[in-house]
Structure 1
């Protein structure tokens, strides 16, 4: 911008000189100034004296300096922009390749933003996918790892490491997009846990048939929570306090009992002494066949493939994880210390 203004000033000075000092017409003055600044090598429009030639030399030098400055800045902007874009793409590619055992959030609307906040509070690795530039910029401003692309496409999911991810959350605005995303994710990584958002009961059923492990309807869930808030407000506050938020003191986690590593498979809870060793409370046990045992007693036997639902502080749950054996990270996300 500065170079263009300076060049315009030189053109104006040259034109005024040839018009006023040399007495040429405006057309001849402007033409002489242009060919002088452009250094095209044409002859003088009208004969010049010594004073006029000295001024023309100065005008040529000023023109060369200004045009060189403009060309230099333009080239620098183009080259820097090209290389910076290349560097950014290379850094993004490296970052995506380094992701492992991470979560993928598809869609950064109001639902996606809330999910990202909870994931960040839990300290879990995750990446956001959104096709809208505004949403991508917002995610970047909040410090999230983000990729701009269409989450329904296999190529996009592959670029964010779908084959290495442990969970995908489809929170796109359209039920059809969420269905396509779940189908693509399950095709590329059959082991991934897929959670999808549904707007209608029909979409909920289709997403379940499409392979989603969990389907959440904001309207159904919101209605249930509002009813619970009206009927059992203290219970709801307690459950919310251990499920979400960065400042909570109690956590709930699930633990998979792998018979290859867990030394307590086949023993009763009383004999395993999980509570006395760790301080964590076993609230429920989900059997491999889907049977849920709420409030298990000391006589409850721990079976292969059981999922223990435990509650306690971050330290207590970490201790429980340690004594249960090297549990697969894909089945357990360790809570963050308070």
Structure 2
């Protein structure tokens, strides 16, 4: 952990030092140019244009003849000016060469392009950590064409993410400044897949402080960490070990059920999909029962469950269940059935943006 922090610090210090030294080199050169111009004006009594011209050809080592004949003091000053020019130009060339070799200019261009991309991000997802878990999350997002940005402190991970065509930003996800760089205030959800439970906790706390309404999903390595992350504001906490163990047990005890559910969730089963639909105040079905709304008969989609606004989950709702504002319908059906259900819940006249389509949906006829 300490070595990673020192590595990030040294990288930042290196670019900061290069920028400062390049600035100093340019200032030194301009100072020498100014000293030469003023010196010729004072020593030789030339006008500013002749003094500037003589200084320029001296610094450039062009070898043109003198503008006016020089006396002894002028020649001594010219010799000193030549030495100053050699030192200043040598320093500039040295700093510029190091900047090119170290990739400073490429890094500046990359950061500017990255900043422009961040300005256009809206309603996106933030994936913190590009390890094994983070890679799987981003692969799923990419397959469903979900806008997202990867955040990792390791430059190697960022380079690998960029090679895959992902937006990626290097930085510590637990810092407010880093989260603001990836437009946390406009993001829908943040997924914390960092290797340390402490880092995930700090990131969730920072994210919830900057954007209280953002949905935070975090990875945990133990049950104790899961409890702390929930207390820290995480909306969902997942332990790969606990979840993986449960799925392995379910696959052993109920293999057909697991195949069916996995196929629907992952999109491997192209016949049926599961989607969620939010009932807002403009939905014409608010206040109606499922029987009155006739969602099943009109669309063919099946309402599996309803999550109330207070968090209550109604599994297998019956015909008398009333649809309320803020309800989240969890529905299953074919791609056409889900599209039809979306039209029923959010008619075009209401100008409601449709939910994202399920992965690998065939095009409309």
TM-score, scaled to structure 1: 0.73
Q: Which moved more, 1:109-118 or 1:264-273?
A: 264-273
Q: Which ranges in structure 2 are unaligned for 5 or more consecutive residues?
A: 1-60, 64-92
Q: Per-residue displacement from partner, 1:302-334 (whole Å, max 9, x unpaired)?
A: 1222211011233322332232126976x9544
Question: Following the alignment from structure 2 to structure 1, what is the Cα–Cα distance between the partners of residues 222 and 104?
Answer: 46
- For the structure 1 residues 247 and 92, does the alpha-carbon distance in structure 2 shift closer, same or farther, using more than 3 Å as the test? farther
What displacement does 1:229 show?
0.4
The answer to whether the 8 A contact 1:118-1:245 is kept is: no
CA distance, structure 2, for counterparts of residue 100 and residue 246 of structure 1 = 29
Tell me the equivalent position of 1:11: none
Q: Which has the higher contact order (CA 8 A, sep 6+)?
A: 1
Partner of 1:232 in structure 2?
A: 254
Task: Give the alignment of 1:228-307 within 5 angstroms.
Answer: 228-245=250-267, 248-258=270-280, 260-307=281-328
Gaps of 5+ in 1: 1-38, 42-70
- Is the CA contact (8 Å cut-off) linking 1:121 and 1:246 kept in structure 2? no
Which structure has the larger Rg?
1
Q: Which residue of 2 aligns with 1:90?
A: 112
Q: Given the alignment, which residue of 312, 322, 329 partners 2:343?
A: 322
1: CA distance between counterparts of 2:170 and 2:189?
19
Q: How does 1:74-113 map to 2 (within 5 A)?
A: 78=100, 83-113=105-135
Moved over 6 A (4+): 74-77
- Aligned pairs, how many? 267
Which of residues 177, 183, 186 is equivalent to 1:161?
Answer: 183
CA distance in 2 between counterparts of 1:163 and 1:113 reads 24
What are the equivalent positions in structure 2 for 1:1-338 lying under 5 Å apart?
78=100, 83-245=105-267, 248-258=270-280, 260-325=281-346, 332-336=355-359, 337-338=361-362
The structural deviation recorded for 1:137 is 1.2
RMSD of aligned residue pairs (Cα, Å): 2.7
Deviation string 1:156-185 (CA, Å, 9 cap, x unpaired) is 100001000000000000000000000000
SS of match in other structure, 1:136: helix
